[in-house]
Amino acid sequence: MQTLIKNGQVIDPANQVDGSFDILINGNSIEAVEPQGQLSENDNSEIKIIDATGCVVAPGFCDMHVHFREPGHEYKETIETGSASAAAGGFTTVAVMPNTSPVNDNRSVTELILKQAEKTALVNILPIGAITKGLKGETLSDMGELKESGCIGYSDDGRPVMDSELMRRALEYSRMFDLPCIQHSEILDLTRGGSMNEGIVSAELGLKGMPVEAEDIMVFRDICLLPKTGGRLHVAHISSGGAVELVRQAKAKGLPVTCEVAPHHFTLTEEACRDYDTNAKMSPPLRTDEDIELIKEGLKDGTIDIIATDHAPHDLADKQVEFSNACFGIVGLETALPLTLKMVDEGIISLQRAVDLLTQQPCRIFNLDKGTLGV
């Protein structure tokens, strides 16, 4: 079965394409991308015609940070339901974090995830392996085995690697295997027991805060480990304007660091917590207007490499409790695109840059042969 998409504005940053093109799809493969009108239908009644007049045609989006909860927490989300949300949001490839039960810290769990994805997923599922066994921050996982079994990166996401020597060694292995270490940047000594950003709002609500310095200090530490290790550091869900500046300075020095931002961190502030709305409780926490402005500047100038949702669903029992007892996390796959396009409407980034953040750049960082409409 062939499909011809006609008259659309095709944006494909990987191939520097932005213009009026037609796309011929044969089965599951793109057969041709040609200037508008150059692909003939040849009176073939079996060709499905899609008139994309007034529409943008882009590669499927890639989200390198989701929590699909399977195996172990299927009452919150499954690979099947999570992939349905991804498809609804325009994502065709997602990377699933290892904080499952059991933790994805070995070949058998990775293979289980891939097998389940093959059975039920509507999109491409790529596993992220744990940096440390059991996410305990004590012993490194077999990072070579994880790569061989299909993992595209390493992370203890949700838990920072606090041990500096352990993180140094992990970065050395990341250089060896050419896969990024994805760090949840947080100094736990500063945030333990916290529920939201530390500041005036947390004080007024009587909630223990999580100071922004906890993120900045960890980002600084990990960047300091890069010159000697040569490792590939990827800062997850950056939320601090100070952390953005640290990444900017590191990139200026040529250090191998990249970072991502989640839509909620360039859209919402700590003010969303004022009604004790547990849907606004996440880690890292929602920050201030100033942080959002600095994040938007980072998106504009290229300091921030990609947009990733940190899609983290919970069941009602985990959220319909007192704020301090609620789980951290928010969903994001189905709202990421409209929130990103809001920045386009506001003139903060171009439409081409928005597509780039969701397609080519994630694939560049994670060595993926995706994110393009190339034949």
CATH code where residue 15 lies: 2.30.40.10
| Catalytic residue ranges | 310
Same domain, 103 and 39: no
Instruction: Specify if 41 maps to a domain.
Output: yes
Same domain, 125 and 271: yes
User: Which residue range(s) make up the domain with 47?
Assistant: 2-57
Same domain, 132 and 40: no
Instruction: Specify if 370 maps to a domain.
Output: no
Tell the burial category of 31 from Cβ atoms under 10 Å away from its Cβ (0-12, 13-18, 19+): middle
Has residue 41 got a pLDDT over 70?
no
Nearest partner of 237 among 283, 296, 193, 298, judged by Cα: 283
Instruction: Specify if 271 maps to a domain.
Output: yes
Instruction: Specify if 178 maps to a domain.
Output: yes
- What confidence tier does 44 reach under pLDDT thresholds 50, 70, 90? low
Among 10, 40, 57, the domain-final residue is 57
> Which amino acid appears at position 194 of this protein?
G
Has residue 16 got a pLDDT over 70?
yes
Has residue 127 got a pLDDT over 60?
yes
What is the pLDDT, as a whole number, of residue 46?
Answer: 82
Summarised one tens digit per residue, pLDDT across range 235-291 is 999 999 999 999 999 999 999 999 999 999 999 999 999 999 999 999 999 999 999
Summarised one tens digit per residue, pLDDT across range 323-374 is 999 999 999 999 999 999 999 999 999 999 999 999 999 999 999 999 999 8
Residue 64 vs residues 50, 58, 153, 172, 366: alpha-carbon distances, Å: 29, 18, 10, 22, 8
Q: Give the domain CATH number at 244.
A: 3.20.20.140
CA distance 267 to 139: 37
Nearest partner of 204 among 270, 286, 279, judged by Cα: 270
What is the pLDDT, as a whole number, of residue 37?
Answer: 87
Same domain, 43 and 132: no
Same domain, 87 and 214: yes
Among 33, 57, 81, the domain-final residue is 57
Among 57, 74, 96, the domain-final residue is 57
Same domain, 24 and 90: no
Has residue 40 got a pLDDT over 80?
no
Same domain, 32 and 158: no
Instruction: Specify if 85 maps to a domain.
Output: yes
Same domain, 44 and 108: no
What is the pLDDT, as a whole number, of residue 38?
Answer: 87
Summarised one tens digit per residue, pLDDT across range 68-77 is 999 999 999 9
What is the pLDDT, as a whole number, of residue 28?
Answer: 87
> Which amino acid appears at position 260 of this protein?
E
Instruction: Specify if 372 maps to a domain.
Output: no
Same domain, 51 and 87: no
Has residue 13 got a pLDDT over 80?
yes
- What confidence tier does 45 reach under pLDDT thresholds 50, 70, 90? low
Same domain, 288 and 175: yes
Same domain, 175 and 271: yes
Same domain, 201 and 343: yes
Instruction: Specify if 329 maps to a domain.
Output: yes
Instruction: Specify if 312 maps to a domain.
Output: yes
